Amino acid sequence: MKTPSEEIDVLRKQIDEVNAQLLRLLSQRAELVLRVAELKRQTGLPMYDPVREAEELAEVLPRNSGPFSDATIKHLFNEFFRASLDLQRGVRDRTLRVTRAFHETDTVFTVGEVTIGAKPLVIAGPCAVESAEQIEEAAAQLARRGVRILRGGAHKPRTSPYSFQGIGDAGYRLLAEAAHRHGMICVSEVLDEAGVAAAAECVDMLQVGARNMANFRLLEVVREAHKPVLLKRGPAATYEELLLAAEYLIIGTEQIMVCERGIRTFENWTRNTLDISAVPLLRAMSHLPVAVDVSHAAGRPDILAPLARAALAAGANAIMIEVHPTPALALSDPEQQIDFAQFDKFLSAIAEFLT
C-alpha cells in the first residue's frame, strides 16, 4: 500500500512523461506551421488567417470531454495560434523592442542638428502658437538663451469646448518657420489621424499628447509618417501602458522620446502630480530617452525649477517647459506659463545639470 506521498511521486512522473509528449507534439505542430508559412510566402497569402483558426476551434471543442472547460481549451489554443503566427512571421519571442532586454544601450538620435538622448536638453515655448509675431518673439528669445527645441501647439485639445482650440494647421507652419529661422527644431502635437500629414510636412517632431497616448489608430498613423515622436504618458497610464504605446510607434520609427507629465491623483495644489519615480524606472526598463514636462505637472510657475532639478537628478534626458512672451495675455493656460525673465531664473536653477 503506497503512502499519499509515494502516489504523488508516481503521478508526477506520469505528468513528466505527458509533458514530454506534449512538447514533441507542439514541436511537430510548429514544423507544420512553418511549412504552411513557406507555401503562403510563395503564393502571397497572408500569414494571419482568422477563418482557419475558427475552423480549428470548431473541430477541437466538440471533442473536449473535460475536465478542462471549453473556455479553458479555447484560451490554450488561442495561445498556440498566437505563438504560431509569431513563428510564421519570424518573431521568436515577444520581447518589446522598446525595452532594454531587446536593446541594451541608450537610444540616442539626431533631429536636424540636435542630439536627443545624450546631454540633457530644454524644450521650451508657448502652450499654443497664437500668431506669427508671438511665436517669432518666443523663438528669438529662447534661441538666444541656448534652447534648441521649440514647442508650441497648433491644435489644442481642451477640456472645455469653449476654450481656445489653437489656430489650426497654420500654427505648424508658423512654428516651423520661427524655429528654423533661429537654428532650432520644433515639436507640436497631432490630435487625430487626419491631421498627421499636415503636421509632418512642417514640424520636426510629432507629439502624441497625454489624452491620445492610448489612441492606437493615431499611433499607427503617426508611425507611418516616419518622423521623430514625443510620446506623453496619459494621466492614468501605467509605465507598462506607456511603453506598449511606444511599441506601436517603434515599428515605424526608433526616434522616440517618452514624456512624464504628471498623473491624476487626489491632490489639488498642483495641476497633476509629478511622478518622479517614472524617470529612473523608465530609464531602467527602456532604452528610450525620457523627458519631463514640468509645466503640465505643476500647473503653476513657482515650483517649476525644483521639479526640473528633481527630474534631472533622477536622470531625465530633457525638460519641457512653457514660456510665453506675455503669460497674462496667453490664450491658453496662462497660469502655468512663465515669461523670459522667469525663464532666466529657471535656467540658472538647473544650469549644473545642463553642462
Q: Which of 223-245 are b and which e, b meaning 16 or more Cβ less than 10 Å from the residue's Cβ? A: bebebbbbbbbbbebebeebbbb
- Establish if 296 belongs to a structural domain: yes
Total count of domains within the chain: 2
User: Do residues 170 and 123 both lie within one domain?
Assistant: yes
The DSSP call for residue 106 is: P
pLDDT band at 2 (very low <50, low <70, confident <90, very high): confident
Tens-place pLDDT, residues 231-246: 999 999 999 999 999 9
> 59 exposed, middle or buried (CB, 10 Å; 0-12, 13-18, 19+)?
exposed
User: Do residues 275 and 158 both lie within one domain?
Assistant: yes
| pLDDT for res 83 | 87
- Establish if 97 belongs to a structural domain: no
Comparing CA positions, the residue from 239, 230, 98 lying closest to residue 106 is 98
Q: Is the pLDDT of residue 278 over 80?
A: yes
Quote the pTM value.
0.76
- Establish if 96 belongs to a structural domain: no
Q: Is the pLDDT of residue 196 over 80?
A: yes
Tens-place pLDDT, residues 157-191: 777 787 888 899 999 999 999 999 999 999 999 99
Q: What is the residue-averaged pLDDT of the chain?
A: 94
Peptide bond into 280 cis (omega under 30): no
User: Do residues 59 and 196 both lie within one domain?
Assistant: no
Tens-place pLDDT, residues 57-93: 999 999 999 899 999 999 999 898 888 888 887 755 5
| pLDDT for res 210 | 96
- Establish if 160 belongs to a structural domain: yes
Single residue among 46, 61, 89 that ends a domain in this structure: 89
User: Do residues 250 and 326 both lie within one domain?
Assistant: yes
| pLDDT for res 163 | 80
| pLDDT for res 336 | 94
Residue 288 vs residue 102, higher pLDDT: 288
| pLDDT for res 174 | 98
